[in-house]
Amino acid sequence: MFVRPCWKPWDLEAAYELMGTDPWALLVQNGDEGPFATNLPLYLDRSRGPHGTLVGHIAAANAHARVLAEARGEALAIFEGPWSFVTASWYPNRDMPGTYYYTAVHCAGRIRLQTAAELEAALGELNGRMEGRVPNGWKMDEVPHSEIARRLPAIVGFELPIERLEAKFKLGQDEPLKDAMAVAGHLAASPDPSSRRLSEMVRRANAGRTA
């Protein structure tokens, strides 16, 4: 990923926060027939490995599952945070071309498949993280354990210990400060929560600049 020094996040925790807030990822890996890509949720276990470990699962019927099992090379997990088109009309002097402000994190590592017990535990963790955001969210123990167990053979659980992590927060740091702040103001006025979140990130990424 092309990352100018000014586009790096203010600290590594910002990248981890993005992965936690936006866990919907794209998993990419090369196979004998070419690249495979699957959209799926991944959660981060910070306690394992120097950069953490990503945990997820995929349908056993998906051809990508076979590629994960072969696991000869690295896989790449791509997370996207908030993004927005920035119209040239937002710049005070209207003298800049339109662009995109966006955030992304790329994590590379080698896949390890889970055992059935590990998969079930990971599903419980994922369910807790996702349903925990929902008022009166669903819990796995609301159904008989047999209903969970009978579904396990249909999915393949895996872990991706992160060996390389790159983050790009392209938020106007290479533009005049007045332009970046004008963009932040327009994003803050949006009814879209994602745009308002992006506005806050623009302000933080440009904090301390004077021009």
Where do the domains of the chain lie?
5-173
Amino acid letter at 65? A
Provide the angle, in degrees to the nearest 10, between the axes of the packed helices 177-188 and 193-205: 160
When pLDDT is cut at 50, 70 and 90, the band that residue 211 belongs to is confident
Among 14-28, 130-144, 176-190, the range scoring the smallest mean pLDDT is 130-144
Check: CB of residue 205 under 8 Å from CB of residue 10: yes
Query: For the chain, what percent of residues have pLDDT higher than 70?
Result: 100
Instruction: Give pLDDT, residue 80.
Output: 97
CATH class of the 5-173 domain in this structure: mainly beta
Alpha-carbon span 102 to 27, nearest angstrom: 19
Alpha-carbon span 210 to 186, nearest angstrom: 20
Alpha-carbon span 103 to 82, nearest angstrom: 6
The DSSP code for 182 is H
Say which residues have a Cβ less than 8 Å from residue 94's Cβ, sequence separation at least 6: 88
Decide: residue 33, CB within 10 A, 0-12 exposed, 13-18 middle, 19+ buried: exposed
* Tokens (6 digits) for 210: 């004077």
* Residue 172: how many other CB atoms lie within 10 Å: 25
Give the predicted TM-score (pTM) of the model: 0.93
Query: For the chain, what percent of residues have pLDDT higher than 90?
Result: 90
Among 22-31, 65-74, 100-109, the range scoring the smallest mean pLDDT is 65-74
